[in-house]
Structure 1
Amino acid sequence: MARRHVPLEPVEEVLDLIAENSEASLRTLKAHHRMHMLQGYAAVYECHAGNAADLLMVWHSEGDAAYILRLGSHDQVLGRRGRY
């Protein structure tokens, strides 16, 4: 698998919004980063980091905690099997 440079600023911005977990931060994630819940998974979300067309972040929310599960391209994150 080829490695590629991922700019950290957009990733850090999304991480900050996830950690904030406020109504305003969730609105921003939905409006600017296309956040949505993954079908078939309880409390697992996906968004585009930095509005990049091919950089996804997947995380699980549990109470006040968020656990980052995957970060990568569509193929890396979702793959052909459709799994995170």
Structure 2
Amino acid sequence: MRLALVPTGAFTRDLKRMARRHVPLEPVEEVLDLIAENSEASLQALKAHHLMYMLQGYAAVYECHVGNAGDLLLVSHREGDAAYILRLGSHDQVLGRRGRY
């Protein structure tokens, strides 16, 4: 079952910031497609190739690495038939000094 992607305002700002910095957005689109697909194969691909895992202390909030950048993270939350895309950025930008998004 395909999930509807719901971007938050923070994600939209993060995406614009990445575009201004000329960060390639194709890997972000690839990860978003895998999240929306929501099949067993796509979840395995996210875990294997993008190091997706659930953040400790948050219910159903996932972090995954985007592309080969190493320090580009996408944080999402799954609820029902929707995936809320919360943040996009480096570890410091997304999680901050205290480890919160």
Q: Normalising TM by the smaller chain, what interval? A: over 0.9
Alignment gaps of 5+ in structure 2: 1-16
Q: Separation in 2 of the partners of 1:28 and 1:5? A: 26
TM-score (norm 2): 0.78
Give runs of aligned pairs for residues 58-73 of structure 1, distance below 5 A.
58-73=75-90
| Cα RMSD, aligned residues only | 1.4
Q: Separation in 2 of the partners of 1:5 and 1:71? A: 14
TM-score (norm 1): 0.93
Residue in 1 aligned with 2:50? 33
> Higher mean Cα deviation, 40-49 or 2-11?
2-11
Alignment gaps of 5+ in structure 1: none
- The alignment of Structure 1 onto Structure 2 pairs a total of residues equal to 83
Higher relative contact order, structure no. (Cα contacts within 8 Å, ≥ 6 residues apart) = 2
Percent of matched pairs sharing the same residue: 88
Q: Separation in 2 of the partners of 1:55 and 1:4? A: 13
Residue in 2 aligned with 1:21? 38
Residue in 1 aligned with 2:94? 77
Partner AA of 2:43 in structure 1:
L
